[in-house]
Amino acid sequence: MRVYLGSDHAGFELKNRLVAWLSEAGHEPVDCGPPVYQEDDDYPLYVMRAADGAVKDPGSLGIVIGGSGNGEQIASNKIPGVRAALAWTVETAQLARQHNDANVLSLGARMYSIDDALAFAKVFVETPFSGAERHARRLAEVAEYEKTGQLPPLPPAP
């Protein structure tokens, strides 16, 4: 699996650990930067490239990393077609794939240990979308809004 990664200074060490782990696990990491630690860098420069790569390369995923993961998730979700999810447990990483067909995982390097972050990434990369009708229907509603800008219609009142 090809996995695009991007971070800021806060996520730089974790990004490098994830690149190494992905390679060792037989995946193909694509490091979108930063190439060196820069204390005052801006995360959108790198995480948006990782998210864009995941969308433009069908069958791939993205992982974006910052201090909390919040800004990285927000920036990634501005790329059309991205479904970025913030994980804080193995279960939230798994459900992001199973129920939401998330294609980008956002991690907060300051929020948990490197071992936990690696576990979240592992389950994210290894978990397929369930394809359950209710989840596919919900994703189609979001995709339609993204395409048209029209909110989904409300159901009739009971």
Q: Which residues are catalytic?
A: 72, 99
Distance, CA of 16 to CA of 128 (rounded, Å): 24
Structure tokens, 153: 């219609």
Distance, CA of 124 to CA of 47 (rounded, Å): 17
Distance, CA of 120 to CA of 88 (rounded, Å): 8
47 contact partners, CB below 8 Å, separation of at least 6 = 6, 7, 8, 32, 64, 65, 66, 72, 75, 76
Give the phi and the psi of residue 29 in degrees, each rounded to 5: -75, 140
